[in-house]
Amino acid sequence: MLCTFAFSLQSCKEDIDDSNFAIAKDKTVTDYLVASDSLSDIKAIFDRVKLGRSDNASSLTAVLSARGNYTVFAPTNSAVKKYVSSLTGSTDVSSLTYEQAQLIAFNCVIDNGTESAYETPEFPPSGTFTLSNLNDRLLSCHQDSTQSNSPYVINGTSTVIKENQKVSNGIVHLVNCVISPSANTVAEMIQQAPNMKIMGRLLEETGLADSLAVDRDLAYENIEHEEKEPRTTFAVYRDLLIPQKRYLGFTGFVETDDVYAREWGINVTTNSEGTITNWDQVKQAILAKLEPVYGSNNVDDLKNPENPVNRFVAYHFVEGRIPYNKLVVHLSEYGYKYGADMKNPQRLTYSVDVWDYYRTVGKYHDILKVTQVPTGEHEIYLNRVSKYNDGFDGDFSEVSTIAHTPGVGLNVKISATNGQYDNNALNGFYYPIDGILLKTTEVADALGGERMRMDLSTILSEMLSNSIRGTDYHFFPKGYFAAITNESSGTKFAYLTAAWGGGTNWTDYQGDEFMAAGLFDFTLRLPPVPKSGTYEIRLGISQNPLRGMAQPYFGEDPYRLQPTGLPLDLRQPVDNNSNPQLNWQDDVADVETNVENDKNLRIQGYMKAPLYFGASDGTGASKARSLPNGKGSPVVRRIIGIQYMESGKTYYIRFKSALKKLDSQFFLDYIEYCPSNVYNGSAAENPW
């Protein structure tokens, strides 16, 4: 909306609707700043800073006096003077360089576009705002429970001291400190945290601090991209946005030093400058703990990816910039009601455990499971494995969970913030954890012994680093995703989300989907498996006559993959009217009948969708495995094949169009890995 001044002419009338011109009667953000003596310094900075590089570009003051929806975190004069003094030695805002003034101005304004500006009820209690500020940075937010009124704190330092000042074009919140997101990387912020000296030193000695330094793909940005792809390309409801940037990044889960002391008896001593004075003893003690887990290869070379310390550190970092409130996605899971606005689901009342999986860094890529529980403070855990009330008549509530045991690496709790230390880095985030995180045999057995369901949005880390997931329809130029390679010239790739498409009847897992169109041919890098073994690979699919047909291929070499299974035809729905030979039967009250129907469908390579999620209708009661609204066609899972997969290896799946149609669609939602002990175990696999 910035710098956009619209007007409209009503056809067949000579009267001009002046309601879209500048707002003359109602107080604007600029009017509020002018009228507030305590905000004169930030107003002066807004006067100076322009939105755009041309000589006639509008000042931020001018833009904030026009129509729009802006969230402004306005620092008081005392806050501005203190910050300016730290930069220039003077308290006068005129001493700032233009670049310094621009950073201050852009960091405290969010353009909400067509959405309403953020009032405190819409603030994330722990996490980030959905939209970036004008400097293209996500601002983190949490409530300070140590103070009586639990005020909101922005980016770890700026406390909201006066909130929800409503004006005609937005909301103004006064803060007691200039918002200044860190320009340091995730690794650098960990190294600067006084309570994370062990991990900070390990990042340096392993060399992983350098490999975690990347933050954007300038080669992508140097190519001129169109702003939108026409909706007709995919026959969808709206045009698709094309990302103009390709941010990269990482998320770390880090033990504080007191965790090493509590669980491993390893204590650090420091001098007056905060430097560790007993590092050799600390390093040897850590190595002694890790050799039984990771082996003894190259123990004297911490920079070697085979080294046990290197592997331990790499297991703490995953690909993608993931805000705390986006570690898992709530939308269509059983029993969950997202509220009045699907674009901003409520975060107060949850129904069942929600989880996702993330790929770790390093030579031996591994998988971390992240789970949020619906009880208590909605805590989030790493590698939490539970048993559930998961029968046909169950509610998927937790029956039991494997407790955290020091040195095992299961059920490790994540904290949203690191106390007074900021954890929102230039290229991602880090979160303190309350137990030692490592990949033991117990972790491999627990994660590798349960069905894994992974949304494609999580597999493609750029979706997270660029804040695309759950925002709008998007179209991606070739090469945008590191996990998608060998794209043919005819491949067109898009992301669709129910919240922006009026999709209240969509039955997508977590409310979003991907679509390949045209003469598509592409290869997807699959997530790693936590344990070597035999897995059934499944694909969540939705079928209709607009879809296409593809032959899947599988293997370790992305250039020499072998066909797996029969071609996947998405054109023919599975309901009995469209495809009677499959004999798909809706669920009934009798459990034994449902089990038998599921067996018959499975014989033909299909499975009903899980009971776990339903349509994106906000009721929490619909079931994706049943007919939507009693009609149409249900979504299903297609069994792609059964493969032996080794932990530590990378596997790929290729989808090549089997049709010569330019307008065919290929639907992608989620992937399941199901170990043989689940799909072929002594007990039937649960329907959830």
CATH number of the domain where residue 681 is located? 2.60.120
User: Are 348 and 458 part of one and the same domain?
Assistant: no
Instruction: From 126, 154, 175, give the residue that closes a domain.
Output: 175
- Nearest by Cα to 401 from 414, 388, 413, 382: 388
- What is the rounded (10 degree) CA torsion for 289, 291, 294, 298? 130
pLDDT at 13: 34
For residue 680, CA distances in Å to 149, 385, 449, 534, 676 come to 55, 20, 12, 11, 5
Q: Is residue 17 part of a domain?
A: yes
Amino acid sitting at position 601:
L
pLDDT at 20: 42
Query: How far is the C-alpha of 398 from the C-alpha of 374, rounded, in Å?
Result: 10
pLDDT at 149: 86
User: Are 632 and 596 part of one and the same domain?
Assistant: yes
User: Are 456 and 566 part of one and the same domain?
Assistant: yes
Q: Is residue 243 part of a domain?
A: no
Query: How far is the C-alpha of 355 from the C-alpha of 439, rounded, in Å?
Result: 19
Q: What is the CATH number of the domain that holds 326?
A: 2.30.180.10
Query: How far is the C-alpha of 444 from the C-alpha of 432, rounded, in Å?
Result: 22
Q: Is residue 227 part of a domain?
A: no
User: Are 277 and 380 part of one and the same domain?
Assistant: yes
Q: Is residue 615 part of a domain?
A: yes
* Residue ranges for the chain with pLDDT beneath 70: 1-25, 501-503, 576, 628-632
Query: How far is the C-alpha of 153 from the C-alpha of 643, rounded, in Å?
Result: 49
Instruction: From 425, 447, 469, give the residue that closes a domain.
Output: 447
Q: Is residue 1 part of a domain?
A: no
Query: How far is the C-alpha of 463 from the C-alpha of 517, rounded, in Å?
Result: 19
User: Are 519 and 638 part of one and the same domain?
Assistant: yes
In the beta sheet, which residues pair with residue 414?
380, 433
pLDDT at 25: 65
Instruction: Give the number of other CB atoms < 10 A from CB of residue 23.
Output: 17
59's tokens: 């000042």
User: Are 196 and 163 part of one and the same domain?
Assistant: no
What's the number of domains the chain is made of? 3
User: Are 685 and 663 part of one and the same domain?
Assistant: yes
pLDDT at 133: 97
Q: What is the DSSP string of 305-341?
A: TTSHHHHHHHTTEEES---GGGSS--SSBTT----S-
User: Are 162 and 303 part of one and the same domain?
Assistant: no
What would you measure as the largest C-alpha separation in the chain, in angstroms? 85
pLDDT at 502: 66
User: Are 441 and 459 part of one and the same domain?
Assistant: no
User: Are 524 and 502 part of one and the same domain?
Assistant: yes
The answer for residues whose C-beta is within 8 angstroms of residue 630's C-beta and 6 or more apart is none
Query: How far is the C-alpha of 209 from the C-alpha of 276, rounded, in Å?
Result: 18
Q: Helix, strand, or coil here: 577? A: coil
User: Are 455 and 432 part of one and the same domain?
Assistant: no
In the beta sheet, which residues pair with residue 398?
388
pTM, two decimal places: 0.92
Q: Is residue 240 part of a domain?
A: no
User: Are 464 and 356 part of one and the same domain?
Assistant: no
CB 412 within 8 A of CB 403: no
33 lies in which domain range? 8-175
Q: Is residue 555 part of a domain?
A: yes
